[in-house]
């Protein structure tokens, strides 16, 4: 069968399953909101246990990273992500998942060439460009302070 690009696009659009956009948005909102509520609850719990506000926020962040990594490792995070879609991309949990997933996927290749070499394949660019952006911003801030 010989099709032009336009004919193929029409065929693909007709054959593709329609995405329930409203339902997906509600799921993402609920799960993303729940992750944020859990973070606030953890911060309040750590403050209740005697941590200062700044320290409680750090402890809550570390706990969320640990929970997201643990849930990714035991296969639960992926199931949540399938239902919630973008709601699991709340930065800290999505980042933890992005680091752990390639490590698990490449574990069979060994600790060095598998886990060690592939662990940052998804998160690496985020770390690189985040660091570079921070350095550029710091340089601009430093130059502005001179005037």
pLDDT in the model for residue 103: 86
Domain count, the chain: 1
Q: Is residue 117 part of a domain?
A: yes
Q: Is residue 106 part of a domain?
A: yes
Tokens of 17: 């399953």
Enclosing domain of residue 81? 20-145
Q: Is residue 131 part of a domain?
A: yes
pLDDT in the model for residue 27: 94
Interval 92-142: pLDDT, tens:
898 888 888 888 888 888 888 888 888 888 888 878 898 999 999 999 999
Q: Is residue 88 part of a domain?
A: yes
Given a cut of 70, whether residue 1 has pLDDT beyond it is: no
Q: Is residue 14 part of a domain?
A: no
Taking each helix axis from N to C terminus, what angle separates 53-73 and 21-48, rounded to the nearest 10 degrees?
A: 130
* Residues 6+ away with beta carbon under 8 Å from 102: 118, 119, 120, 121, 122
Interval 67-83: pLDDT, tens:
999 999 999 999 999 99
Q: Is residue 4 part of a domain?
A: no
pLDDT in the model for residue 111: 82
Q: Is residue 10 part of a domain?
A: no
Interval 5-63: pLDDT, tens:
888 888 888 888 888 899 999 999 999 999 999 999 999 999 999 999 999 999 999 99
Given a cut of 90, whether residue 64 has pLDDT beyond it is: yes
Q: Is residue 128 part of a domain?
A: yes
């Amino acid at each position: 069968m010989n099709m032009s690009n336009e004919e193929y696009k029409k065929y693909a659009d007709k054959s593709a399953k329609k995405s329930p956009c409203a339902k997906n948005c509600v799921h993402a909102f609920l799960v993303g909101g729940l992750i944020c509520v859990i973070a606030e609850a953890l911060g309040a719990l750590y403050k209740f246990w005697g941590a200062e506000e700044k320290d409680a926020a750090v402890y809550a962040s570390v706990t969320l990273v640990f929970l997201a990594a643990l849930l990714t490792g035991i296969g639960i995070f992926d199931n949540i992500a399938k239902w919630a879609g973008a709601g699991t991309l709340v930065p800290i949990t999505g980042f933890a998942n992005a680091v752990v997933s390639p490590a698990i996927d490449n574990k069979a290749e060994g600790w060095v060439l598998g886990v060690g070499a592939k662990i940052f394949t998804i998160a690496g660019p985020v770390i690189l460009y985040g660091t570079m952006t921070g350095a550029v911003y710091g340089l601009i801030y430093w130059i502005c302070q001179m005037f």
